[in-house]
Amino acid sequence: MNAPAKPKLPGSLDANRRLDQWMKFEADGTLTVYTGKVEIGQGIVTAMAQIAAEELDVTLAKVTMVSGDTVLTPDEGHTSGSRSIDEGGTALRYACAEARDLLLKAAATQLDIPADKLIVEDGVITGFDRIRQVTYWQLPHAELLAREATASIKPKAASQHSIVGTAVERFDIPFKATGMPRYVQDIELPGMLFGRVVRPPSYDARLTAFDADAIRKLPGVVAVVRDGSFIGVVAEREEQAVKARAAALKAAQWKEVPIASDEAGMHEYLRTRPGNKAAVMAERVDATAKARGVSKVDARYTKPYIAHASIGPSCALARFDGTRIEVWSHSQGVYQLRYDLATVLKTGVESVIVHHAEGSGCYGHNGADDVALDAVLLSRAAGGRPVQVQWMRDDEFAWEPYSPAMTTDVHAALDDQGNIVDWSVEVWSNGHSQRPVSVKTPGPVSSLVSAWYLESPVARRTQADPPQAGGGGMARNAPVTYALPNERVVAHRVEEQPLRASAMRGLGAICNVFAVESFMDECAAAAGADPVEYRLRHMQDPRARAVIELAAHKAGWKAGVQSDGTSGRGFAFSQYKNGYGYMAVVIDLSLEPDPHVTRAVAAVDVGQVINPDGVINQAEGGIVQAISWVLKEQVRHDRERVLSRDWETYPILTFPEIPTIEIHLIDRPEEKPLGAGEIAAGPVPAAVANALYHALGVRLRDMPLTREKIAAALV
């Protein structure tokens, strides 16, 4: 007889049910909190500490955080999609609330005081008389927590919070601000060596000849590896490994295969591939409203491949003693990386340990997982000694998985009042995820780039796309928050992948919101309406209306203001994933001497705010990155290879170009807390494009909006 199904628990508590997976009361009177979500510059570890401290009534000074470790922490999947607070924070909140309840009940028995009469102050439990008391640490906490959670204890109400909702100093910033060892590059192990890999000149190139003997004779070289078309070098010192790599590049000969399309033909390529998998992602039909349409507006918007462009290249440290593999990585999914490493190395997952160590951050799937396999392969070749591998800058640009190129078509019909009565969106893109996952497949597959070039290669994991129920990938934010009588969204998934692509901050929302919010301005212009008024005319969601109104008010938005031809102002709005955080933003753009943003004013609603300073940090950083995308960033490539391999060929926003930024929060303590990491990815590029139109009266629809494209549009 089958056992009854267990009730579903909140967030990632459902997959990690034991309470002692989430916390431990230490003998020294401190509290260790475990989270599977990792720090990638978004301040999430500090926010998790606030949640735990709040629910357990301890001070932050007593909390030590451990994150992303396959030995110690829960498996919460990838740190991605602005889901950490939603999934991990919710799980931790319920786990801590239940732990507190169990501890209070034990204290009630010991102190002979009813549990509902007890007070907890920094882990000290006492009654109103303040005479009888016991601490968490004096109770049988290990025994009490050695059970599955039930999520039956309701966490604190927002009105009871004293830590959640306040700005606290992030745990990681003092280390980074003072240059203390913090990153994976800073880890040193006894006997550690340094490695580098030698990549092919292009994706499908195969090694035809390689003279390793001369490389082995170079100073400090410990090992030279050739395994199929994979080449790696190991040396005693890092500069020796760099020199050995340079020599190996010259010693290798390759046979290349052309890329399916160059950048100029990429969007035509995406739209014309045979066998594109089309799916209707949203549909709403009102034939009566549709019949009122008297004019049509149509436009096509495109986004190129965009790189994560991490300031620090991907890095990992590995130690492979023949039976156990231990890796330090800035992966955003340590359990999933462990599974992929075990697949490639043909060993059980129990033989692989992955510890998260901070990298320079990327908000998506960059080379962090790939370089971990490189380090393992080179440690194996070096007799099991620990090897640190860092990608060179040209490898980082040419081999990381990019944000996919996209094309988004938008159509609208307007009635005689200028109102939208029919609306459709059509999207073409590759899938937006090729991350390592812990899922068995009919045959071994891997997301790790070096696995594809070994003598006995592991097949590439096919691209995937997150389900629309979870926010979607290529169709993310293609459906709108506006109340339109007719809406149809169709996504064409292109399975052939000209360039390696996967997840990056915002996924399909980058292009889709750029398209939708640029197009809302085009419809407003066709209707002779102010862009802000036009959005409010079509919006019923009160929280969306609130951020639109607040951003316009704080920026001093005025309808009908004409541009002087050298500057412009643009507006855009988005609710991320149509169910997460809201942002509305006003962009002030100057065209002299080159297009640059001078001011950004944003209103943000992410429900209950855990750390206001953290939300502001995330919104500010997202705005800066999105401005860089829309004005500068594009992976250049021809039919032979990727051409963007350094900061000259892939420019990003510089410090002098960062605008004045104002973030205005709408805190809703009684609402569900939502992540803020990706809310700016869509609306900011659209607001920049709308500001450019306001300045010059020409509409650019192809990212990035460069000086050259502006000049061509004005001819």
Least confident range from 234-243, 423-432, 433-442, 700-709: namely: 433-442
**Under 8 Å between Cβ of 405 and 303:** yes
Extract the tokens encoding 290: 């549709």
Alpha-carbon gap, residue 538 to 621, rounded angstroms:
29
What are 195-245's pLDDT values in tens digits? 999 999 999 999 999 999 999 999 999 999 999 999 999 999 999 999 999
Indicate whether 3 pLDDT > 80: no
| Residue 140, CA atoms < 13 Å, CB-side half-sphere | 7
| SS3 assignment for 571-606 | EEEEEHHHCCCEEEEEEEEECCCCCEEEEEEEEEEC
Q: What is the pLDDT of residue 398?
A: 97
Residue 173: CB partners within 8 Å, gap ≥ 6? none
What are 671-698's pLDDT values in tens digits? 999 989 999 999 999 999 999 999 999 9
Q: What is the pLDDT of residue 579?
A: 94
From the centroid of its chain, how far is CA 607? 20
**Under 8 Å between Cβ of 641 and 538:** no
Indicate whether 418 pLDDT > 60: yes
Indicate whether 577 pLDDT > 70: yes
Q: Which residues pair with 277 in a beta bridge?
A: 493
What are 150-170's pLDDT values in tens digits? 999 999 999 999 999 999 999
Indicate whether 275 pLDDT > 80: no
Considering the domain 508-715 in this protein, what is its CATH number? 3.30.365.10
H-run or E-run covering 328: strand 325-329
Indicate whether 1 pLDDT > 90: no
Indicate whether 528 pLDDT > 90: yes
Q: Look at residue 130 and give its three-state secondary structure.
A: coil
Q: What is the pLDDT of residue 2?
A: 67
Q: Which residues pair with 237 in a beta bridge?
A: none
What are 365-405's pLDDT values in tens digits? 999 999 999 999 999 999 999 999 999 999 999 999 999 99
Q: How far is CA 444 from CA 11, 335, 459, in A?
A: 30, 17, 7
**Strand-pair category, 487-493 with 445-446:** unpaired
Extract the tokens encoding 649: 């060929």
Q: How far is CA 571 from CA 75, 163, 216, 540, in A?
A: 40, 35, 59, 18
Indicate whether 302 pLDDT > 90: yes
Alpha-carbon gap, residue 100 to 470, rounded angstroms:
32
What are 536-574's pLDDT values in tens digits? 999 999 999 999 999 999 999 999 999 988 999 999 999
What are 644-671's pLDDT values in tens digits? 999 999 999 999 999 999 999 999 999 9
Least confident range from 39-43, 126-130, 632-636: namely: 126-130
| Residue 695, CA atoms < 13 Å, CB-side half-sphere | 25
Extract the tokens encoding 501: 């692509």
Extract the tokens encoding 164: 């959640």
| One-character DSSP codes across 178-234 | TT-S-BGGG---TT-EEEEEE--SSTT-EEEEE--HHHHTSTTEEEEEEETTEEEEE
| Nearest CA-CA partner of 187 in 387, 370, 367 | 387
Q: Quick one: what percent of the chain has pLDDT higher than 90?
A: 93
Alpha-carbon gap, residue 577 to 376, rounded angstroms:
37
Q: Look at residue 529 and give its three-state secondary structure.
A: coil
Is pTM beyond 0.85 here? yes
**Strand-pair category, 387-390 with 252-255:** unpaired
Extract the tokens encoding 90: 């919710």
Extract the tokens encoding 298: 């149509």
What are 62-101's pLDDT values in tens digits? 999 999 999 999 999 999 988 999 999 999 999 999 999 9
| Nearest CA-CA partner of 390 in 370, 410, 418 | 370
Amino acid at 125: I
Q: What is the pLDDT of residue 120?
A: 97
Evaluate the omega torsion of the peptide bond into residue 313 and state whether it is cis, within 30 degrees of 0: no
What are 609-637's pLDDT values in tens digits? 999 999 999 999 999 999 999 999 999 99
What are 317-369's pLDDT values in tens digits? 999 988 899 999 999 999 999 999 999 999 999 999 999 999 988 899 999 99
Q: Which residues pair with 126 in a beta bridge?
A: 119, 133
Percentage helix, strand, coil for the chain under 3-state DSSP, each rounded to 5: 35, 25, 45
Indicate whether 485 pLDDT > 70: yes
Indicate whether 431 pLDDT > 80: yes
Domain 184-257+308-399 has CATH 3.30.365.10: yes
Q: What is the pLDDT of residue 362?
A: 87
Look up tokens 């209070």; give the residue: 104
**Under 8 Å between Cβ of 683 and 517:** yes
Do the two domains 184-257+308-399 and 508-715 of this chain adopt the same fold?
A: yes
Residue 431: CB partners within 8 Å, gap ≥ 6? 404, 463, 464, 465, 473, 474, 493, 495, 501
Indicate whether 299 pLDDT > 80: yes
Domain 11-176 has CATH 3.50.50.60: no
Q: What is the pLDDT of residue 110?
A: 95
| Nearest CA-CA partner of 358 in 612, 180, 618 | 180
Ranges of each domain in the chain:
11-176, 184-257+308-399, 508-715
**What is the chain's mean pLDDT, rounded?**
96
